[in-house]
Amino acid sequence: MQPASSTYDRVTIALHWLTAALVTVLWLIGTFLEDLLPKGTLRSEVWSAHFDLGFVLAVALLAFLAWRRTKGRRLPIEDPGLLHRVAKATHAVLYLLLLIIMALGTANAFVRGVHLLGPVDLPKVGDPEWRRPLTHWHGLAANLLMVLALFHAAAALVHHFLWHDAVLRRMLAWRG
């Protein structure tokens, strides 16, 4: 078992994996829903779940960023060179894309006036002509996020299986 100082704290780990799971589920729904479900009640309920989970993701991401800024454990930099700068830039772009996706998704939800699961209906705000471009840019940003997230995951696997360092292990909850 690694010393406590070489792993992230449990809150950071939980919020990281919650964010990863929500992003994956939301991307799958957004990418494949049109093709898999016929129009009707089930499809609209799944879209409502997509919007609900998007708002959950927004809360989780903001909590994650606030936690990392204030109380999250800072780990020593193992390699301050080029790989560290690439990793920092990758994380910054991941966060930026997530924020852009959430802003576009929220704007899209208000333009559409969606029904959320539960008693909440969002009012229609804005020009209905914005639906198509908002949906386009939201989807494009989500696809870019998934490409970058796959790069991020591949890099963690390279660290673990080729370089045999602790980069991946420090983000695994059962190792902390």
Residue 28 predicted with pLDDT over 60: yes
Q: Structure pTM?
A: 0.88
How many Å apart are CA 101 and CA 99, to the nearest integer?
Answer: 5
Res 20: pLDDT:
97
Average pLDDT over residues 77-96: 88
Half-sphere exposure of 174 (CA within 13 A, CB side): 0
DSSP count for the chain of H helices, then E strands? 4, 0
Helix (H, G, I), strand (E, B) or coil at 121: strand
How would residue 45 be classed by pLDDT, with cut points 50, 70 and 90?
A: confident
Task: Tell me what pLDDT residue 22 has.
Answer: 98
pLDDT tens column, 93-115: 999 999 999 999 999 999 988 87
> Averaged over 52-74, what is the pLDDT?
90
Q: What pLDDT, in 10s, does the model give residues 119-132?
A: 788 889 989 999 99
pLDDT mean across residues, the chain: 88
> Residue range 154-164: average pLDDT?
93
Enumerate domains of the chain plus CATH numbers: 4-175 (1.20.950.20)
Selection from 89, 71, 108, 94 nearest residue 147 by Cα: 94
Decide if pLDDT at 165 tops 90.
no
DSSP-assigned beta bridge partners for residue 115: 121
Percent of the chain with pLDDT over 90: 60
Q: Tell me, what's the pLDDT at 63?
A: 94
For residue 52, give the nearest of 94, 90, 105 by alpha carbon.
105
pLDDT of residue 175: 53
Q: How confident is the model at residue 73, as a pLDDT?
A: 75
Q: How confident is the model at residue 76 (pLDDT cuts 50, 70, 90)?
A: low
Alpha-carbon gap, residue 61 to 59, rounded angstroms: 6
* Average pLDDT rounded to a whole number, residues 50-78: 88
